[in-house]
Amino acid sequence: MTDTAEHSRADVTRARLLKAAVSAFAERGFHGTTTRDIAAAAGLSPAALYVHHKSKEELLYLISRSGHDQVLRLVQDAIASSDEPATALRRAVHDFVAFHARQHTSTRVVNYELPALSPEHLAEIHDLRHRIEQAIRQLVEAGVAAGVFDTPDPRMAAAALLSLGVDLGRWYRDDGGWSPEHIATRYAEMALRIVGAA
């Protein structure tokens, strides 16, 4: 077997383990999940997990890092899409909420299992979360400065806007009555009311 084929097979196995870890952590919580649970869900032997990942905590970190990187990118892209604060905010909240609804299983893990991360990993994730919050807050502040938003506390408004999406991981289900697009559109409209858009 070539090095490329072995590398590709290892990538596939790592991806299977990450997917299995997301499901297991979402169902049982980080502390209620064993490495044996993850390996079994991936159809692998318990020893296989340690061939590809240092620990169960590393799996949680990789899931969390990936989720936060994706969210930061989509928020930054949305904000850069328009010079109009209201248009940019509508898109940022829409995309943020749609992502959390579509990825509700992984976002539940990403947002509610953070205390299980090592101090170093937690610090890194907190930095990403701060950058996401800061981007939204600065957008709200820009809207206030431009006279198109009217909110006395942009920081609190930003926290409320982010809570709209984050909490979806806790309650959203695919078989519920609302699609991710429907929720994203409605929440984007509510977001403009939260910031007192003109």
Lowest-confidence range among 13-17, 55-59, 109-113, 132-136? 13-17
Is 164 found in the same domain as 139?
yes
Is 10 found in the same domain as 70?
no
Tell me the pLDDT tens digit for each residue of 58-80. Answer: 999 999 999 999 999 999 999 99
Is 186 found in the same domain as 91?
yes
- pLDDT score of 6: 58
The total number of structural domains in the chain stands at: 2
Is 65 found in the same domain as 44?
no
Q: What is the CATH number of the domain that holds 142?
A: 1.10.357.10
- pLDDT score of 7: 59
Q: What is the CATH number of the domain that holds 33?
A: 1.10.10.60
Query: Which distant-in-sequence residues (6+ apart) come within 8 Å of 6 by Cβ?
Result: none
Burial class (CB in 10 A: 0-12, 13-18, 19+), 26: buried
Is 130 found in the same domain as 44?
no
Residue that terminates a domain, selected from 15, 35, 53? 53
Mean pLDDT, residues 81-99: 97
Look at the chain and count its residues. 198
35 vs 168: CA distance, rounded Å: 27
- What pTM did the predictor assign? 0.88
- pLDDT score of 48: 79
- What value does the mean pLDDT of the chain take? 92
What is the domain range of residue 89?
60-194
